[in-house]
Amino acid sequence: MIRLENVSKRYGAEIVAVRDASFEVAKGEFVFLVGPSGSGKSTLLRLMNRQERPERGNVWVAGRNIGELANSQIPQLRRQLGNVFQDYKLLPNKTLFENVAFALEVIGKPRHLVSQQVPQVLELVGLAGKEDRFPDQLSGGEQQRVSIARAFVNRPLILLADEPTGNLDPATGEGIMSLLEAINSTGTTIVMATHDHRVVNAMRKRVIQLDRGVIVRDQERGVYE
């Protein structure tokens, strides 16, 4: 589903974000990218959704070498990906329903499909009945659920999550993790960057550890060291 071949990425001439990274993620896998801040986790995610282009090496996503995609083909790639962020990136002037519907509307999904799929996914993330609230009327955990709903409403092949529990207390974070696990069990591949020990140790999934841009460990059912 995802394959990186000797990928390197620098910001400017000096700062090396990722150095010679190679790994493969199979369909339906759940992978943690761990490491301290600045170790290159976010850059790897940004390479996978083509927010960044690799300087060297190839990034394959869903069978396509995305470093070579023309700009006009990027939207097609992104429609197969869902993105979840630490700061949720919800639109404050839209209701919860509109925030999720937005993801379908801007890719031109017909209205009847929107009104059918959005309630379904809100039910899945446990926010049924709160459709008309605005983001500032929701707790952090609820906002992250909305963000996950928005990422998942288009049934993407891959979900990329960048520190989704970073702003949440442990109990709320657990709730988010079980939601991601449920989504993973539907066959969606999940790659999640985190430096939250508890989450990683509790889940016992594959762990790829980074240190200053270099992969130092790739372990099945690993823990955060």
Partner 1 sequence: MIQRISYAFRETIANFRRNVTLSVAAVVTSAVSLLLVGTTFLIQRAFDNLLVQWRGDVGMIVFVRPDVTEEARLFIRQNLESQPNVIDVDELVYLDRTQSYEEAKRVFAGDPTTLSLLSIDTIPSQFKVVPITTDAELVRSLANQYRTLPGVAGVSLAEDEFEVISTLSSFVRTVTIGMSLVLLLVAVILIWNTIRTAIFARRREIEVMKLVGATDWFIRVPFILEGLFQGLLGALVSCAGLWGLNQAWTGGVAGFKPGTGVSSLIVPDSYANGVMVALLVIGAVAGAVGSGVASSKFLDV
Which residues in this chain contact partner 1 in the complex, by CB under 8 A? Answer: 49, 51, 71-72, 74-79, 81, 83, 89, 91, 102-103, 105-108, 110-111, 150, 154
Task: Report in angstroms how near the CB of residue 222 gets to partner 1 at its nearest.
Answer: 29
Which strands form 64-65's sheet, in the order they lie side by side? Answer: 15-25, 2-11, 56-61, 64-65
Shortest separation between residue 109's beta carbon and partner 1, angstroms:
9
Distance between CA atoms of 27 and 81, rounded to whole angstroms? Answer: 13
Q: Shortest approach of partner 1 to residue 218 CB, angstroms?
A: 27
Q: Which is nearer to partner 1, 16 or 125 (CB)?
A: 125
The whole-angstrom separation of Cα 200 and Cα 183 is: 17
Q: At what angle do helices 170-185 and 140-152 cross, to 10 degrees?
A: 10
The C-alpha atoms of residue 210 and residue 21 are separated, in whole angstroms, by 9
* Element spanning 99, H or E: helix 96-105
- Least distance in angstroms from the C-beta of 110 to partner 1: 7
Q: Are 44 and 193 in contact (CB under 8 A)?
A: yes
Closer to partner 1 at the Cβ: 39 or 49?
49
- Cβ closest to partner 1, residue 21 vs residue 84: 84
